[in-house]
Structure 1
Amino acid sequence: MSSSFAMGHNLKRYLNLLWQSIIFWSAALACFAIFRYFGLDEENGITVMDDIAGPIGFLKPLASFSAMGAVLGMLYASIDFLFDKLVSKRLSLGLMLIVKTFTEFVFTIAVLSITATIVSKVFPSIQIDVELGWWLREKVVWSLLFYILIASLVFSTLKIAVERFGSGVFLKMLRGAYSNPKEEDRIFMFLDLKNSTAIAEQLGHHKYSQFIQDCFFDLNEVVLKYEAEIYQYVGDEAVLSWSYKRGLSNSNCIEIFFAFEVKRASRNTYYLGKYGVFPEFKAGMHGGTLMAAEVGFIKKELAYHGDVINTSARIQAECNKHNVNFLLSEKLLKDLAVKETFSSKPIGEVLLKGKKKEIKIYSIAHYG
């Protein structure tokens, strides 16, 4: 993968995280202002400054906290992005959470100090003595920090859920769209490591697991750009999925395979230096109509049922037999507007395992 492609991909990921973080934290801190200040002047026994009394006066703390939330959103997004890129693979999950939480705490105190200084100058009736350790004696700061901690847990939970299911799928599951089986048109790709048994014997189970980790880390680097969803990891195999429209758009379902190859090739020296072997993958792909439904109770997940998945897996199994890395069905090839940089070659009609009717399959190669 070229440096310009990598930079563009990383920028897109960062901007995506940035706008989500800014919106969430602006809304979260606006809610804090509502909980604490809205209607406070109407409560018996509570006296507030004239500047923040009434609906109009309430707009001042609302605007102040919303702006502070936007700043915190930018900082937290930057911290999350940098930790994911630079630290996540070097530290254990527990240690990374401790270091990241401490980093966010320091920046939060800095933002609170800057905000308190600005508010004191803009609103003379609100004077906050911002000196070293000022936040230790302010009860409102501790209540705000506790609120930020709870909000951070909510945001992290939502982020994990979206990463697990994909943003579109997660929102549909919240609405109960898959409570009953639902018919969908989707594309599936089965992506499998070549010569996995020999590589596992050569590396041993511990180093082999690290090897697979690195391969799928590289895969994740290109998944978002091509709008793919990772349906499953099964050993040394990854199952990718697209809605039919997204998979066909810009030939995403084909482009991703070759982008993954380029990404791995850019780390050839790393793989050979650490493992003494370079990973090669084979893929089989098919698309069509199948059923989607939520399954399970103790562990709930979205499952797809239908011939599309079975056919995709069996097409991938034909790769070794025909000595090619990428095969897809004739049906899917006809639906795709294959770019001039790709070439397709008919393999012929094959009777896939478990099927009664032969299916035409094609290999795909890339010129660039």
Structure 2
Amino acid sequence: MDFRTRKRLNLIKNYIFGWTLSFIYLCIVRGVGTIEVGSFDPGLLYSVLISLILGPICGVISGGAQIITLERVYRKTSIQKLLILRVIYGVIFIWTLILLAYFICITYLDLKTDLMEFAFDEGSLPVYLYIITVDIFFTMLTLIDLMLGPRNLGKLLQGKFYYPHEEERIFMFLDLQSSTQLAEKLGHIKYSMLIQDCFNDLSVVIENEAAVYQYVGDEVILTWKLKDGLRKHNCIQAYFNYNNQLLKRKAYYEEKYNCLPFFKAGVNSGIVTVTEVGSIKKEIAYHGDTLNTAARIQGKCNHFQQGILISETLKMQLFPNSFLIEEMGNIPLRGKMEEVTIYAVSEKIAVSQTSVQ
């Protein structure tokens, strides 16, 4: 099972758990110490049993819709159409739940009423508002999780980043080649659209378990936990997978922007400090020489006419069998007293445009 599939299944699992818990909570609030104003009151026990059935179904539907929206719809339609689609989805979602609940009630609880009376019962409106609110809440949590990075939201809520601590990680600095010339050629608006398209195509690195740490202008910083980055050479393969993705969309980029974007990369591994920073805007930040060295290495790509350069530290941790690694020598890096040995990496099977043009 690839990483993207595992991520989708994990999202659906979280939605199933969340919806089941939300329905049980609603049953307890409405069933303990309150009087039901509607004509249908199955009691607390039956309400919880219904929740255990509807929760997983809701989770699959809601989680699946979220996956489709993020992967296929979000960047391919206008915000107005996106809102309209969201309203249509909400109506379909509510009616799907009504039909499922009605079927369960007439089958197992011997309910004696028709569908429309059941759907528009006096006590149903608060339930529908609750369902819509919960769905919006889960969507917001998903988007916040995407902004903070995988699993970081839970860690942030637990206070795991409150005090600085050390982690061993791999960092890749990806920078757009000839960005200044492209900005002058395309103008600010079209250049920003180019960056948007490039970073949307960057989603291919999910297959290599990469997490985006930061977007900085036309540069993006990817990171891995050490074991995740070394597994299947994810930290190297991600670079080639990304540039190959750009090559696959060559016709699109040349038609829309009259260019083929190409990114150069510097990669390094080591100990970094991770902590929560900011009071006006919270952010999870990594500090340390590991990042500085990766940035400096990336800055040498043009000098050596290479697409990707890695540090000796990372090279010693890799056991490559599908890449060619060539030593570029010991070089001084700005801000470091000692010279650093760096290596160029290329694929054994030649792919068009594996070095900086």
- TM-score (structure 2 length as normaliser): 0.90
Residue 129 of structure 1, aligned match among 95, 105, 114: 114
Aligned twin of 1:249: 231
User: Is 1:173–2:156 an aligned residue pair?
Assistant: yes
Q: Secondary structure at the match of 2:53?
A: helix
Please state how far the C-alpha of 1:52 moved relative to its aligned partner. Answer: 5.0
Q: State the alpha-carbon separation in 1 of the partners of residues 270 and 3 from structure 2.
A: 29
Aligned pairs for 1:232-311 within 5 A? 232-311=214-293
Q: Is the 8 A contact 2:276 2:283 kept in 1?
A: yes
Q: Is the 8 A contact 1:182 1:293 kept in 2?
A: yes
| Deviation larger for 315-324 or 245-254 | 245-254
User: Is 1:352–2:337 an aligned residue pair?
Assistant: no
Residue 82 of structure 2, aligned match among 57, 82, 96: 96
Please state how far the C-alpha of 1:66 moved relative to its aligned partner. Answer: 2.5
User: Is 1:82–2:68 an aligned residue pair?
Assistant: yes
| Deviation larger for 262-271 or 58-67 | 58-67
Partner AA of 2:129 in structure 1 = F
Partner AA of 1:349 in structure 2 = N
Q: State the alpha-carbon separation in 2 of the partners of residues 276 and 117 from structure 1.
A: 57
Q: Report the number of matched residues.
A: 348
Aligned twin of 1:34: 28
Partner AA of 1:328 in structure 2 = I
Provide closer, same or farther for how the CA distance between residues 203 and 354 of structure 1 changes in structure 2, counting only shifts above 3 A. same
Q: State the alpha-carbon separation in 2 of the partners of residues 192 and 72 from structure 1.
A: 41
Q: Deviations over 1:168-206 (max 9, x none)?
A: 322221111121211221111100010111111221111
Please state how far the C-alpha of 1:10 moved relative to its aligned partner. Answer: 6.1
Q: Deviations over 1:344-367 (max 9, x none)?
A: 000000000121100100011112
Over aligned residues, Cα RMSD in angstroms? 2.4
Provide closer, same or farther for how the CA distance between residues 115 and 134 of structure 1 changes in structure 2, counting only shifts above 3 A. closer
Q: State the alpha-carbon separation in 2 of the partners of residues 167 and 280 from structure 1.
A: 27
Q: State the alpha-carbon separation in 1 of the partners of residues 61 and 38 from structure 2.
A: 32
Q: State the alpha-carbon separation in 2 of the partners of residues 9 and 272 from structure 1.
A: 31
User: Is 1:21–2:2 an aligned residue pair?
Assistant: no
Aligned pairs for 1:330-345 within 5 A? 330-338=312-320, 340-345=321-326
| Deviation larger for 323-332 or 250-259 | 250-259
Aligned twin of 1:182: 165
Provide closer, same or farther for how the CA distance between residues 157 and 82 of structure 1 changes in structure 2, counting only shifts above 3 A. closer
Q: Deviations over 1:324-360 (max 9, x none)?
A: 000010011101222x111100000000012110010
Please state how far the C-alpha of 1:311 moved relative to its aligned partner. Answer: 0.5
Please state how far the C-alpha of 1:294 moved relative to its aligned partner. Answer: 1.0
| Deviation larger for 70-79 or 234-243 | 70-79
Q: Secondary structure at the match of 1:138?
A: coil
| Deviation larger for 179-188 or 71-80 | 71-80
Partner AA of 1:150 in structure 2 = T
Q: Is the 8 A contact 1:21 1:77 kept in 2?
A: yes
Q: Deviations over 1:288-316 (max 9, x none)?
A: 11211111101111111111111100000
Please state how far the C-alpha of 1:107 moved relative to its aligned partner. Answer: 2.6
Aligned twin of 1:155: 138
Aligned twin of 2:57: 71
Residue 183 of structure 2, aligned match among 167, 183, 200: 200
Q: Show structure 1 runs of 5+ residues with no match.
A: none
Q: Deviations over 1:240-270 (max 9, x none)?
A: 1112222122211111111112211221111
Q: Is the 8 A contact 1:188 1:239 kept in 2?
A: yes
Provide closer, same or farther for how the CA distance between residues 346 and 289 of structure 1 changes in structure 2, counting only shifts above 3 A. same
Q: Is the 8 A contact 1:319 1:326 kept in 2?
A: yes
Q: Secondary structure at the match of 1:241?
A: strand
Partner AA of 1:140 in structure 2 = G
Q: State the alpha-carbon separation in 2 of the partners of residues 293 and 9 from structure 1.
A: 26
Q: Secondary structure at the match of 2:167?
A: strand
Q: Secondary structure at the match of 1:353?
A: coil
User: Is 1:139–2:122 an aligned residue pair?
Assistant: yes
Between the aligned residues of both structures, percent identity stands at 34
Q: Show structure 2 runs of 5+ residues with no match.
A: 350-357
Q: State the alpha-carbon separation in 2 of the partners of residues 266 and 47 from structure 1.
A: 60
Provide closer, same or farther for how the CA distance between residues 166 and 312 of structure 1 changes in structure 2, counting only shifts above 3 A. same
